[in-house]
Amino acid sequence: MDRHRKSTRLGTCSQQARALVGRYDLLVVEGLQIATMMRRAKPVADPENPGQFLPNGARAKSGLNRSIGDAGWGGFVSILRAKAEEAGRIWIEVDPRHTSDGCENCGYAAAENRVTQAEFQCRRCLHLAPADEHAARNILRAGLALHAQAA
């Protein structure tokens, strides 16, 4: 990545973080392990052919890793956290498990609830929602619960 794109991205991240910190007293994010998410796919030995390997999705994983890196998730979260702490805002990181596949309506969690990247539909109660908005509400709800416990 060239220097100009990187500085533009950092400037944009900083602006967005400043706007969020200016608007909200409580900031809740998923405690994603980004470095773990970006690990290479592990080779899978073929038990029937010693010295050979089974398909392991390495090409798709490589593309996902590139997307995660290009999006600058880790950098944005670091900037947001620093600005939130500097401004005295409340910062909460929640466990990311079931934030995107757990139903906000009935609590049922299953990978099948995430119909597509864009759509969530609970297999138990049939609750339907845009997937990202649904996950954001689950993240906020988990953060508010942690905040209430700490108070």
- Given a contact cutoff of 8 angstroms between Cβ atoms, the answer to whether 123 and 110 are in contact is yes
* pLDDT tens digits along 52-67: 776 766 666 565 556 5
pLDDT higher at 77 or 35: 77
Average pLDDT value for residue range 117-143: 96
Cα gap 118→19, rounded to integer Å = 26
Checking if the pLDDT of 143 tops 80, the result is yes
Checking if the pLDDT of 146 tops 80, the result is yes
Lowest mean pLDDT among 37-46, 72-81, 119-128: 37-46
Checking if the pLDDT of 81 tops 80, the result is yes
Label residue 28 by pLDDT band (50, 70, 90).
very high
Checking if the pLDDT of 121 tops 80, the result is yes
- Specify the pLDDT at position 74: 74
Cα gap 147→24, rounded to integer Å = 14
Distances (CA, A) of 20 to 15, 31, 67: 9, 18, 23
Checking if the pLDDT of 21 tops 60, the result is yes
Lowest mean pLDDT among 15-19, 26-30, 65-69, 145-149: 65-69
